[in-house]
Homo-oligomer: A and B are copies of this chain.
């Protein structure tokens, strides 16, 4: 009576899903609102940086040649003919043994080719004129930031798909991006299924649990840079589920349901996919938790049937939904950041299937260490709060021991991986 399903390897499942991943749409936002979004176009320099030869210090701009004879015993004197602050341009012509008092960031006056910092100059007045003297020679170019030495006009500075962090924001401002082309946030529809689910504000009653997956998934969607649209709970009734899902499919870029994908009597998603005319890409994955994860597509739109079990739901999102959304956000590295770490506890369970263990990774003296968090029962949620990584134990392996090197996938790293 129970349907037999054939599990496929995790990597194969991810590939099947990623065949339907495509770039998303763009929109233009004001620079003030760009933080936290993803660049939809490469960021290029619209001018040289610095845009002109400028002083990196407060001091005096001079003609270096005039300082050639300066020494401790024989200071060379300069007449200070003008003062310019950042944003000002010198108005006078600088003759031999003349200097311009110059502030940090100001343009080097014509004819000058070195800057003497205040700290090494002796400034004084005589007969109503200002002078300064120095006790060592300067070479042409000393203490000058040259036009274009940081960046040349037209240079590609940051590729599209990059997360706009404070540094990228600074570059956007520097290069005049008052309006920024960013990836439009994909709309991710969410339904929770299960008659056992109570609203968060409802008191507990026998046999029921509160609906945590819907809130968790919404947060996961936000974290990945997309926009969740929660449509509420579906009752365990095939007709109503079908109608509700069909009704919203056009409104979203992809749809997530939690629960209803197992082989239980009230698991209606398989029937619904069939009635929708959606192609089921797989309905069983050789992984723990989340083996019942089911993904279907209808006219290229992906329908993710995640497990109703919180941990399996969480893992299913990060493995299958994340890379699809990040691809829509133009990322060339849509997958979780992968590396290895030293295991800090014995993990004796064998792994008939690839196992994703919620774990905490920390760094010490330049090395990464990983500790499984919680008991790793697939029905508990407390460990999710502490996890910042999955420890990935390949299927077909026996247990692992303290000190073993194991693969880890980081959950809160913005950079990602090409896989």
Residues of A within 8 A of B (CB): 1-2, 31-32, 35-36, 47, 49-52, 54, 56, 58, 83-89, 101, 103-107, 118-119, 123, 145, 149-151, 157-158, 162, 164-178, 194-197, 199-201, 203-204, 206-220, 222-223, 230, 236, 262-266, 308-310, 314, 337, 339-342, 363-368, 374-375, 377-388, 405, 412-415
* Contact present for B262 and A150 (CB under 8 Å): no
* Contact present for A210 and B173 (CB under 8 Å): yes
* Contact present for A366 and B365 (CB under 8 Å): no
Residue of B nearest to A375 (CB): B150
**A88-B196, A173-B200 known, 5 other contacts, Cβ within 8 Å:** A52-B206, A107-B207, A171-B384, A173-B212, A363-B368
Contacts of A31 in B (CB 8 A): 200, 215
* Contact present for A208 and B87 (CB under 8 Å): yes
Contacts of A310 in B (CB 8 A): 170, 174
A201's contact among B171, B176, B213, B220, by CB below 8 Å, is which?
Answer: B176
A157's contact among B83, B158, B236, B382, by CB below 8 Å, is which?
Answer: B382
Residue of B nearest to A167 (CB): B384
Bound Cα distance from A367 to B366, whole angstroms: 6
CB distance from A138 to the nearest CB of B (A): 19
* Contact present for A167 and B35 (CB under 8 Å): no
- The answer to whether residues A339 and B314 also contact, given A178-B201, A209-B51, A219-B35 and a CB cut-off of 8 A, is no
A215's contact among B32, B101, B199, by CB below 8 Å, is which?
Answer: B32
* Contact present for B405 and A145 (CB under 8 Å): no
Bound Cα distance from A115 to B114, whole angstroms: 84
CB distance from A329 to the nearest CB of B (A): 17
* Contact present for A377 and B145 (CB under 8 Å): yes
Residue of B nearest to A374 (CB): B150
- Please give me the 5 A-B residue pairs with the lowest Cβ-Cβ distance, nearest first: A87-B196, A167-B384, A86-B196, A170-B216, A166-B219
Contacts of A263 in B (CB 8 A): 58, 118
CB distance from A419 to the nearest CB of B (A): 16
CB distance from A376 to the nearest CB of B (A): 11
* Contact present for A379 and B56 (CB under 8 Å): yes
* Contact present for B209 and A166 (CB under 8 Å): no
Bound Cα distance from A377 to B145, whole angstroms: 9
Residue of B nearest to A361 (CB): B363
Contacts of A49 in B (CB 8 A): 380-382
Contacts of A341 in B (CB 8 A): 366
* Contact present for A366 and B340 (CB under 8 Å): yes
CB distance from A346 to the nearest CB of B (A): 18
A101's contact among B36, B223, B265, by CB below 8 Å, is which?
Answer: B265
* Contact present for B56 and A219 (CB under 8 Å): no
